[in-house]
Structure 1
Amino acid sequence: MRIVVLAGGRSSEHDVSLNSAAAVREGIAAAGHEVVDVLIERSGEWRHGADTLALTPGGGLLDADVVFPVLHGPFGEDGTLQGLLELLDVPYVGAGVLASSLCMDKVVFKEVLAAADVPQVPYAGVHLARWRAEPEAVLRELAALGTPVFVKPARLGSSVGIAKVSSETELGPALDTAFGHDSHVIVEGFSPGLEVECAVLGFGTEPEASVPGEIVLTGGADWYDYEAKYTDGGMELVVPARLDEAVLEDVRRLAIDTFVRVGCSGLARVDFFVEDGHRVLVNELNTLPGFTKTSVYPKLWERTGVPFPQLCDRLIALAIERFEAERSVAF
């Protein structure tokens, strides 16, 4: 098949996207498909080689059978790109508009899980307008979470703009930093548990979950920050995670349940904390996780018995399956 790989994008994760896309192109080619490159510049311009692309609703994209978006952050995995691909009327890998948007907003995601009594760390969302209008009231409310806490832009990834706050005096500056990246910020309570991640693959009500892996920091960082994620030697992935088999099954079950609950399709990585060796807390779900050969998502599937080219091939097949299922109903 003819597969367009979308890379780059307007977000701060542009370079991460380029690294992921390089691996995806290699994997797609190894699976026997034709690869067509499309670069989205930081300006938002779409380019195919030297040509600037003009997109036509209903016109597809460069005669592609499937589009494989490998973009992270805003304008890539937040539903905006997915909406554009829906208008182009082309199958694409990954979650649709609603699931992409929902999972990108960490506050909304946690509120959906809270409505279903899914265990997670305590949290609070803060909007920029209220922070500017009532900073003292906001700080009083956030004090109920105690310290340490993590302050994060609600709709960004790759640990950009995140701060670990160890005292109340650090909270205001951390909020200001996070608001420099997003007008919606989440403050999360600290969990001392193991950081465990699980990859999900599928469409419909019966997706598959990988063997869960454990994040072990090896580069001196005391939390899983940007440097730990993207610097060689910053972290080690232990697969399977060092937990009892029953707890590993709880992680896999919750990963699948969360994937289905928020309406995902194709792929996702679900992140957890496991406290006291048995209490499993859902942290977040990433609908377009990092996809280099050393990224957690493909490494977990490799350890589960799905090599990288086969993983790319299955995601392409799932994109077509979802497209055909959704186009089979009358709008």
Structure 2
Amino acid sequence: MNRKKIGILFGGSSSEYEISLKSAYGIISHIDRKRYEPVLLGITREGTWFLYQGDIERIKDGSWYRQAACIPAVISPDRRFQGVVYMQDGEIKQIRLDAALPVMHGRLGEDGTVQGLLELAGIPIIGCGTKASAVCMDKDLSHRLASSVGIRVPKSKVLTIWGDREKALAWAEAVGYPIFVKPATEGSSIGISKVFGEKQLGQAVDIAFQYDAKVILEEEIPGFEVGCAVLGCEDPLLGCVDEIEVSGGFFDFQEKYTQKRSKIHVPARISAEKMKEIQEAAKRIYWVLGCKGFARVDLFLTPEGELVFNEVNTIPGFTPYSRYPNMMKQIGLSYGEVIERLIQTEVLS
């Protein structure tokens, strides 16, 4: 039986480059080689594209692009090819792809840019498409859409790099400290600050503007964060709900990948009824934002038991130990089975 050629894109010009390598390594090392032939496309921090044909352990340790096994390559936007074009031995060659799985976290990977290239090329995307990826990456737009279907969202104020800074102080004083200041389109809590008073606000806004021309100020939501993994399209599979317990501070970039002051509980320490409510809310958000394939929906659970939408990760961390696979593990799916089901959402559609 001919194996399906699956393009796996990793790396990228993002602050989450290293996380992408870890997630991609997990998928590449567990994909069913009897059914699929992975075509590895690595993108360096500088944005150089390579067809990688070397030892996948080099992806794990970050040295992949220093290898002779790297061949300059690109995704051809010409829909006649539907795949990868590269130069070898003085000849232009191509690999037609049956589907492509971007495993690129953050900007220029999770925000619709790569998805747009794949759609232009006519290559089926495993995961969310261009529009859903772009909307979910934008905290302001995703909140507006979630609110339209009755999901509570934090009170917020949007600032642009061209003005409105003077309005930040008045808004923060009206809402009350502490507040969060966030780049509107970054992932992994990069550029986010928790602000406790007027003196910190200006610096926090400056930090956020280093990552985005659009910044969002949000009220602090009491309680704790919960997440739900969603897998599929029209009738998606819902994973077990998890809970983030943080002892001091908030779940920032460093804490997400070291967990020195935090702990992930899966299943979450909540009632079965509340877990069902969270799963149903996650599914509604998944649908209204146009997601497909897979995503992780994150919400806050207040002390009063109310759900408040936080964000959707359209390409969540995907190592064997990441939150998404662990939520699916709790409902009986192994890491390899999750990858298989994910690929089938597009390859067999």
TM-score, structure 1 normalization: 0.91
Match of 1:60 in 2: 82
Contact kept? 2:75, 2:118, Cα under 8 Å: no
For the pair 1:212 / 2:212, whether they are aligned, the reply is no
* Change in 2 beyond 3 A, CA 1:116/1:294: same
The CA distance in 2 between the partners of 1:321 and 1:222, in whole Å, is 44
Q: Deviations over 1:34-68 (max 9, x none)?
A: 22211011222210132111332212223222211
**Which residue is 2:141 aligned to?**
108
227, 231, 255: which one pairs with 2:258?
231
CA distance in 2, matches of 1:294, 1:115: 34
Gap change, CA 1:214 and 1:47, over 3 Å in 2? same
2:59 is aligned to none
Residue 330 of structure 2 aligns to a residue in which SS? helix
Structure 1 stretches lacking a partner, 5+ long? 323-331
Aligned partner of 1:96 among 102, 120, 129: 129
Give, in angstroms, the shift of residue 31 of structure 1: 7.3
Give the corresponding residue for 1:328. none
Tell me how far apart the structure 2 counterparts of residues 172 and 149 of structure 1 sit (CA, whole Å). Answer: 13
Q: Secondary structure at the match of 1:156?
A: coil
Q: How far is 1:32 from its partner?
A: 4.5
Give the TM-score of the pair, scaled to structure 2.
0.87
> Is residue 23 of structure 1 aligned with residue 26 of structure 2?
yes
Aligned amino acid, residue 95 of structure 1? C
Structure 2 unaligned residues grouped into runs of 5+: 53-69, 84-94
Query: Residue 176 of structure 2 is aligned with which of 146, 167, 171?
Result: 146
Tell me how far apart the structure 1 counterparts of residues 292 and 191 of structure 2 sit (CA, whole Å). Answer: 28
Higher helix content, 1 or 2: 1
Secondary structure of the structure 1 residue equivalent to 2:159: strand
Aligned to 1:326: none
Partner of 2:64: none
* Match of residue 240, structure 1, among 263, 267, 272: 267
Structure-1 separation of matches of 2:167 and 2:310: 26
Counterpart of 1:276 in 2: which secondary structure?
A: coil
Alpha-carbon deviations, 1:56-93, whole Å to 9, x = none?
22122232222111001111011111110011111121
Decide whether the 8 Å contact of 1:31 with 1:310 is kept in 2.
Answer: no
Matched ranges for 1:213-292 at <5 A: 213-217=242-246, 221-231=248-258, 233-276=260-303, 278-292=305-319
1:86-123 CA-partner distances (Å, limit 9, x unpaired)? 11111121111111110000011111122333112211
Does 2:12 correspond to 1:14? no
Aligned letter for 1:88? A
Counterpart for residue 164 of structure 1: 194
Identity over aligned pairs, percent: 36
Residue aligned with 2:96, SS? coil
Aligned length in residues: 316
One-letter amino acid of the structure 1 residue matched with residue 321 of structure 2: T
